[in-house]
Amino acid sequence: MQMPNLIDPSVCLATVEVFRKVPEIRLRIAIDTFREFVELAALHLDGVRPSGWADYRLFPDLRPEDLEGLILIGRFRQAYMTPKGARLLKRLIQHDLVPRRPGAGAANFTELDAYINLEAELVRRTIERRAQKEAGRQSRAEAVTTFAARVAHLVHNPEDARPEELSRKLIMAVFLQKFGKGVGGSVTLGGIRCFKGFPQDDPAETDWEQRWQNLDTIYWLDATGFRHGDLTARRHRRPALEEALVRER
């Protein structure tokens, strides 16, 4: 039996697209019928006997695990049907539990069977995607660790900074670790002057919005005097006055 967690929603078809693979059935009613069957079957397997529901006689081999992993919820709450769910849909249609369109002939399962037969391929794709995501997560974690170690080193050994590694992110991190939050000024990294905020910032400035915009500005001057980084003050949401007062202490 295929375990439901071996397939990721991102590799499956949207539920409505699976139902459309059998054009002879009435789409909306078929979706409601499928959902109602699964709900009532779950109650029946839990020992509850829903009144008026005798369809279980058509599925004497039905087990609780057969109702798991039929529909998966992906991004933006989108519902996706697995091949396992498609197999149950086919059985419901074969037992005439799903209404057909007026005048429609026998159900054509060609496209539905093709999707059902993709189960092993979808498992392979899921394993591959999860491996890629895990590799990406580990790579990002290593990058964060390396960056933090580099910042810590430059705080105590600023002369080791290389001109090509200077960036807004690195300079901001050095300032935060060296001086804490809400502090502007300048530091020299690898012989290059780096600034946070504008040199004319006045600690007694009462225009909190202007001052905190200035403190969010990062730039540095190379050996030729050319300015890199933010060319103008960076605008950001004005902090609460109380938060600003706390940072000043």
235: confidence class by pLDDT, cuts 50, 70, 90: very low
pTM: predicted TM-score of the whole model, two decimal places: 0.66
Q: Where are the beta strands (DSSP E) in the chain?
A: 13-14, 71-73, 79-81, 185-189, 192-196, 218-221, 227-229
* pLDDT, tens digit (0-9, with 9 covering 90-100), for 45-89: 887 776 656 666 778 788 889 999 999 999 888 999 999 999 999
215: confidence class by pLDDT, cuts 50, 70, 90: low
3-class DSSP state for residue 215? helix
245: confidence class by pLDDT, cuts 50, 70, 90: very low
- Residue 216 has a pLDDT of 72
C-alpha–C-alpha distance, residues 56 and 45, integer Å: 9
- On the question of pLDDT at 248 being above 90, the answer is no
- Residue 51 has a pLDDT of 62
Helix, strand, coil shares, percent, the chain, to 5: 55, 10, 35
- On the question of pLDDT at 114 being above 70, the answer is yes
Question: What is the DSSP secondary structure assignment for residue 218, as one 8-state letter?
Answer: E
Backbone angles phi, psi at 47, to 5 degrees: 100, 0
Give the residue among 187, 163, 185 at the shortest CA–CA distance from 174: 187
C-alpha–C-alpha distance, residues 232 and 169, integer Å: 16
- On the question of pLDDT at 241 being above 60, the answer is no
C-alpha–C-alpha distance, residues 249 and 245, integer Å: 7
- On the question of pLDDT at 1 being above 70, the answer is no
Beta strands 185-189 and 79-81, pairing class: unpaired
Mean pLDDT, rounded, of the chain? 83
Cβ pair 21, 112 in contact under 8 A: yes
- Residue 244 has a pLDDT of 40
* pLDDT, tens digit (0-9, with 9 covering 90-100), for 154-210: 999 999 999 999 999 999 999 999 988 878 888 999 999 998 875 444 444 455 445
Cβ pair 71, 80 in contact under 8 A: yes
